[in-house]
Structure formats: structure tokens, C-alpha cells
């Protein structure tokens, strides 16, 4: 396949740049990248007025929550009880999980997301169905069967031993692996956290959980774990590792940052969710200065935005809200949701347009004269319209095309 247009290419460290050119794909991968003129003859997709981006990568989202977007004005723990847990209970039915996954996959594709670090539910069978279905569509990353054995309605709780056995039986498929997913320490007994830590030493899969999203959550953790600092709770159970994705990480001090850095774990910054649930505003600059690796996630449905471009824009808004340091540039934002998120999820074969990578590509046709802008990437970020996305290709296969 020949795809032509203005390409989003790796820039100087931590940025992307735009340059005219064209790409030749061969089966599932990018065979050639030509940076010169965009090509006008014999092209299959794109054109002079199109941009070609790498697929976007979302490092924190909840697949069963896509129908729960926008249920507003509840604090986190109440929102979980009243909105989220009832929604997740529907995944007890594998047929429901399958059909919802199909709908969610279409939404991911039509918003340009091609790689994910996702949560399913406590239902192991449904989690595997979801992983298999998304793997068949070519998505890369991980899907986790959620571990929870306390502080949720009975219909979502299972004994720790059962959950650990089920999690150990999960199977990778295609470019997706399972993920060890203790929801957060509030919904896991020490036995379950211990079992999750043991699983993590046996399997190469990512670990995902939530950390310090809201103050009431942190207070409850202190009560449940005898005042052990929240970050140390995970560390005690060997859950802080270089493959650990800690969602939110707002209410942390220097000791927490130092511990997270020493274990090389990742914080998934979720600015749209932090705002929607009024969890707080993460200080991104401080977190980065402490040396902690940061990724970016939509956290649907905590975050109401399915578009990683809007999540990236919210990262700028959050940075402006907390301090006077220079907020990330548009070039850094686009780098974050492509190459950087890929690096952090340890997905070296996606996130950049380069020969040898999987052909995970977006064809975008803006309806504004972005070429005339003094800063085209900033114009594109702020004027972004999902209707501009004309095609999403994963592994060289056209998986979404706008009508």
C-alpha cells in the first residue's frame, strides 16, 4: 500500500515534526519511508491535503466503562459504587462483553487509538474474549482481568485464590498480552495483592493499578493498611516494577516519587479524568523533575474524552493550572501520545513512522489551512476535530474508514 501526505516523524528529543513524504507498507509493516515530496500518483491513501500520523496510544482506559461516559458530579468512590460497578457487572455475560467490545473497538479506531493498556472486569472469561477480539483487529498492548476481593458489591467480588488462578490462566494473543490488574489497594485484600505480586514475578506481563487519585481514597488506604504510605503498599507486595503502570498519581510526595523512580515504575497521567472527577490536578513538571516516567491515558470513563488528542490538550491545561513553568508544547503532546507512550508501554514496533515498524497509521484530512500557521502542530492540536480522521490502519490493514 502507498500512503502519501505530510508525515508525522520523530523530531529532536521528545518531539515530533511534520514533513511531506510517502510510505510504502508491505503486509503488516512499514517497508519504506520517503521524506521529500508527497506523492500524487499511484497512491492508495492520503494525498497532498492529508496528514499521516502514527496510531495513537492510550496507556490507561477501562473498556467496560465506555457507555458510562459523562455521569457527572459524583466523587470517585461514590461514582464507582453508583455508576461503574453496575456497568461492569454486565460483563458477567460473555455475549454482552463481546458485543460491547465490538462497539468500543469501533470507537477506538474512529478516534485513532491503535494501542492500549486497558482494564476489562473481574470476569476472567469476558476479559479473555475481549483480549482475543481486540488482538484479532491488530491492537497492541495489554488487557487486564481486574482483581478485586473487597469493598465492592458482592456480584463483583471473588475469592483471592480463584482470581489468581484465573489470572494465571490468561493467554496472550497477537500483539496483546494479559496484564496483572489489581484494581487498587482499596478493592484488594493483602492476600490478593500478595498473589498478584507473585504472578508478576512469573509472567512478563504489565502490572496496572490506580494510585493516589483522590484524597478520600488515600485516607481509606491509610485506614486499611495501618498507615502504610500508599505507594509502599504496592511495593510491599512486589507490585512496583518497571512494567507497572500507576494511574493518576496525583497525591504523592517526594518520598513516593523517589520510591516509584527507584523501581522504574510508570505513572499514567490522566488529566481529563482528574478534571472530570475533580480528583485534583497532577503536577506534571514536578513528577518529571523527580525522574519518574510519565505516560498519558484517557481513563475512560473517569475521563470523558475518547480522543487522545484531547487528552493531550488537557495535559497542557493541567500544566498551566498548577505552575508557571513552561507547559508542554504541541510537538511534545503529539510525541507523548505516539512514540513516548509506545516506549513506556514497551511497544518498540509502533508509535513512530519508520521502516520496520508495524504499519499502525492514521490518515487525517483537516478542513483548515494548517499549513499557513506559524505553528502547525499547535493549530492541529487545538482545532482538532475527530471528523478529520479518514482512515485508521493497524498492521497494514484498513480497520476504519470514514464514510
Q: Which does 183 bind (CB under 5 to 8 A by kind): Fe ion, ligand GUN, none?
A: ligand GUN
E-assigned strand segments in 15-153:
16-26, 29-35, 45-54, 56-62, 113-119, 140-147
Three-class DSSP category at 261: helix
Comparing CB distances to ligand GUN, the nearer of 256 and 360 is 256
C-alpha cell at 384: 482538532
Sole window of 175-183, 215-223, 245-253, 374-382 interacting with Fe ion (rule: CB under 5 A): 245-253
Q: Classify strands 244-248 and 207-211 as parallel, antiparallel or unpaired.
A: parallel
Query: At closest approach, how far in Å is the CB of 80 from ligand GUN?
Result: 6
Grid coordinates given for 104: 468500543
**Which residues share a beta bridge with 389?**
364
CB of 208 to Fe ion, least distance (A): 9
One residue of 256, 299, 305, 360 binding Fe ion per CB under 5 A: 299
For cell 523533575, what's the residue? 289
Question: Is 282 a residue that touches Fe ion (CB under 5 A)?
Answer: no
Q: How many chain residues bind Fe ion (CB under 5 A)?
A: 2
Nearest residue to Fe ion, scored by beta-carbon proximity: 299
Count of residues of this chain found to bind ligand GUN when the rule CB under 6 A is applied: 11
**Shortest gap between Cβ of 282 and ligand GUN (angstroms)?**
13
Per-residue CA distances from 66 to 62, 173, 210, 257 (Å): 7, 23, 18, 31
- β partners of residue 99: none
Least distance to ligand GUN, CB of residue 157, Å: 14
Helix (H, G, I), strand (E, B) or coil at 314: helix
The set of residues, in sequence order, having a beta carbon less than 8 Å from that of 240 and lying 6+ positions away, is 231, 234, 259, 260, 263, 265
DSSP symbols for 261-312? HHTT-EEEE-HHHHHHTT-----HHHHHHTT-EEEE---TTTS----HHHHH
Q: Which is nearer to ligand GUN, 75 or 172 (CB)?
A: 75
Q: Report the residue closest to ligand GUN, judged by CB.
A: 302
**Site stretch for Fe ion (CB under 5 A), options 28-36, 150-158, 223-231, 239-247:** 239-247
- How near is the Cβ of 398 to Fe ion at its closest, in Å? 31
Indicate which of ligand GUN, Fe ion, none lies near residue 184 (CB less than 5 to 8 Å, by partner kind). ligand GUN
Which residue, 61, 60, 7, is CA-closest to 38?
Answer: 7
How close are the terminal C-alpha atoms of the chain, in Å?
A: 20
Taking alpha carbons only, the member of 150, 94, 98 closest to residue 124 is 94
Q: Which stretch binds ligand GUN (CB under 6 A): 76-84, 156-164, 313-321, 394-402?
A: 76-84
Q: How far apart are CA 275 and CA 302, in angstroms?
A: 9
84 binds ligand GUN (CB under 6 A): yes
Q: Which three cell numbers stand for residue 289?
A: 523533575
Helix axes 94-110, 124-136, angle to 10 degrees: 40
In the list 51, 247, 333, 361, the residue contacting Fe ion (rule: CB under 5 A) is 247
Of 64 and 112, CB closest to Fe ion: 64
DSSP conformation class of 294: E
| 76/311 with CB nearer ligand GUN | 76
Q: Of 56 and 276, which CB lies nearer to ligand GUN in the complex structure? A: 276
Nearest in space to 43 (alpha carbons), one of 18, 24, 19: 24
- Nearer to ligand GUN among residue 310 and residue 390 (C-beta): 310
Interface region with Fe ion, contact rule CB under 5 A, candidates 27-35, 241-249, 355-363, 371-379:
241-249
Binding residues among 206-245 for ligand GUN as defined by CB under 6 A: 210, 213
- Smallest gap from Cβ 68 to Fe ion, in A, equals 12
Regarding 62 and contact with ligand GUN (CB under 6 A), the answer is yes
Residue 6 pairs in a beta bridge with 20, 51
Burial (CB count <10 Å: 0-12, 13-18, 19+), residue 281: middle
Does position 273 interact with ligand GUN (CB under 6 A)? The reply is yes
Please list every residue from 150 through 189 that binds ligand GUN, using CB under 6 A. 183-184
Which residues in 189-208 contact ligand GUN (CB under 6 A)? Answer: none
User: What residue ranges bind Fe ion (CB under 5 A)?
Assistant: 247, 299
User: What residue ranges bind ligand GUN (CB under 6 A)?
Assistant: 62, 76, 80, 84, 183-184, 210, 213, 273, 299, 302
Amino acid at each position: 500500500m502507498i500512503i502519501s501526505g505530510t508525515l508525522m516523524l520523530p523530531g529532536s528529543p521528545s518531539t515530533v515534526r511534520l514533513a511531506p513524504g510517502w510510505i510504502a507498507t508491505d503486509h503488516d509493516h512499514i517497508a519504506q519511508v520517503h521524506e521529500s515530496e508527497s506523492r500524487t500518483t499511484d497512491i492508495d491513501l492520503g494525498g497532498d491535503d492529508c496528514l499521516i500520523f502514527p496510531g495513537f496510544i492510550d496507556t490507561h482506559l477501562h473498556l467496560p466503562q465506555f457507555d458510562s461516559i459523562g455521569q457527572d458530579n459524583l466523587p470517585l468512590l461514590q461514582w464507582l459504587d453508583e455508576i461503574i460497578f453496575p456497568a461492569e457487572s454486565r460483563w458477567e455475560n460473555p455475549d454482552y462483553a463481546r458485543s460491547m467490545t465490538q462497539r468500543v473497538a469501533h470507537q477506538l479506531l474512529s478516534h485513532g487509538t491503535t494501542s492500549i493498556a486497558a482494564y476489562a472486569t473481574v470476569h476472567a472469561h469476558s476479559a479473555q474474549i475481549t483480549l482475543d477480539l481486540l488482538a484479532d483487529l491488530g491492537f497492541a498492548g495489554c488487557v487486564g482481568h481486574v482483581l478485586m476481593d473487597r469493598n465492592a458489591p458482592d456480584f463483583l467480588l471473588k475469592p483471592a485464590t480463584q482470581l489468581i488462578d484465573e489470572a494465571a490462566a490468561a493467554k496472550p494473543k497477537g500483539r496483546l498480552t494479559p496484564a496483572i490488574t489489581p484494581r487498587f489497594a482499596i478493592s484488594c485484600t493483602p492476600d490478593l495483592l500478595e498473589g498478584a505480586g507473585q504472578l508478576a514475578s512469573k509472567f512478563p506481563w504489565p502490572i496496572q493499578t490506580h494510585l493516589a487519585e483522590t484524597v478520600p481514597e488515600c485516607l481509606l488506604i491509610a485506614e486499611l493498611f495501618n498507615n502504610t504510605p500508599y505507594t509502599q503498599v504496592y511495593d510491599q507486595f512486589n507490585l512496583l516494577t518497571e512494567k507497572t503502570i500507576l494511574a493518576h498519581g496525583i497525591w504523592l510526595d517526594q518520598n513516593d516519587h523517589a520510591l516509584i523512580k527507584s523501581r522504574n515504575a510508570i505513572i499514567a497521567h490522566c488529566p481529563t479524568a482528574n478534571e472530570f472527577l475533580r480528583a485534583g490536578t497532577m503536577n506534571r513538571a514536578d513528577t518529571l523533575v523527580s525522574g519518574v516516567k510519565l505516560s498519558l491515558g484517557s481513563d475512560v470513563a473517569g475521563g470523558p474524552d475518547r480522543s487522545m488528542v484531547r487528552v493531550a490538550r488537557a495535559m497542557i491545561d493541567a500544566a498551566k493550572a498548577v505552575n508557571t513553568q513552561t507547559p508542554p508544547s504541541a510537538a511534545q503532546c503529539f510525541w507523548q501520545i505516539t512514540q513516548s507512550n509506545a516506549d513506556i508501554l514497551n511497544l518498540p514496533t509502533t508509535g513512530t513512522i519508520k521502516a520496520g515498524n508495524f504499519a499502525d497509521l492514521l490518515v487525517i484530512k483537516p478542513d483548515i489551512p494548517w499549513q499557513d500557521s506559524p505553528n502547525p502542530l499547535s493549530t492541529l492540536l487545538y482545532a482538532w476535530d475527530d471528523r478529520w480522521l479518514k482512515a485508521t490502519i493497524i498492521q497494514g490493514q484498513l480497520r476504519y474508514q470514514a464514510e
